[in-house]
Amino acid sequence: MDVDVSRRGPRALVWRRLLSPGSEYFELRARPEGWELAGSVVLVDNGLPHFVEYTVTTNAAWETQAVHVLRRSGEGEARLQLRVDAERCWWKGDEEVVHLRGCLDIDVACTPSTNTLPIRRLGLEVGQAADVRAAWLRIPSLALEVLPQRYTRLTQTRYRYESNAGRFVAEVDVDAHGLVTNYPPGWERIAVTGD
């Protein structure tokens, strides 16, 4: 998964939600010092409409450096901005989010895009597995939790994803960029820019 996105501009795609109505427009953009993942998600949660816009910036090793989220609903809007320093401390403004210390990845609950972060960062060979500790951003509440996860590379394009001590397991298909093409029961890709 060493495809160079930077030569062709951003990689754009659309995912469709499978469990409930919704979709996402997403772009993966190369930056001089790393990557940017940006998405706009429309979803229904407990019968209510929500719009979520997010940007995640990483360094060249695919480690999260900053997260910006805007969530809108009929009840108003909420924003969250996080930054991660060189010691892997997570900050919301001037306040450290202490329980996230040491996490390398953000996992934004309303999108499959953030699965790309550990997939690219770990660089697993087929048959290898690794455990990660992600900062899980719940949507629509914007609450932050630590979520232990495990990735096992089953084939060149398929990973088994486990979280919550194996209480959730899914087989996730990805493309050459490490972006999800199929993530049952949650998402499927329905459109993408050309390779």
Per-residue pLDDT of the chain (195 residues; tens, 9 = 90+): 444 544 456 899 999 999 889 999 999 999 999 999 999 999 998 889 999 999 999 999 999 999 999 999 988 999 999 999 999 999 999 999 999 999 999 999 999 999 999 999 999 999 999 999 999 999 999 999 999 999 999 999 999 999 988 889 999 999 999 999 999 999 999 999 965
Total structural domains within the chain: 1
pLDDT of amino acid 8: 53
Half-sphere exposure of 24 (CA within 13 A, CB side): 30
Q: Are 69 and 79 in contact (CB under 8 A)?
A: yes
Q: Residue 133 sits in which domain range?
A: 5-192
Task: Considering only the C-alpha atoms of the chain, give the largest distance between any 2 of them, rounded to a whole number of Å.
Answer: 46
Q: Are 151 and 161 in contact (CB under 8 A)?
A: yes
pLDDT of amino acid 166: 81
Q: Are 60 and 48 in contact (CB under 8 A)?
A: no
Q: Where are the alpha helices (DSSP H) in the chain?
A: 116-122
Strand partners, 173: 158, 182
pLDDT of amino acid 74: 87
pLDDT of amino acid 195: 58
Residue 7, SS3?
helix
Q: Enumerate residues 6+ apart whose C-beta is below 8 A from 151.
A: 118, 119, 122, 124, 129, 130, 132, 159, 160, 161
pLDDT of amino acid 3: 46
Q: What one-letter code names the amino acid at 149?
A: Q
pLDDT of amino acid 46: 86
The pTM (predicted TM-score) of the whole model is 0.92
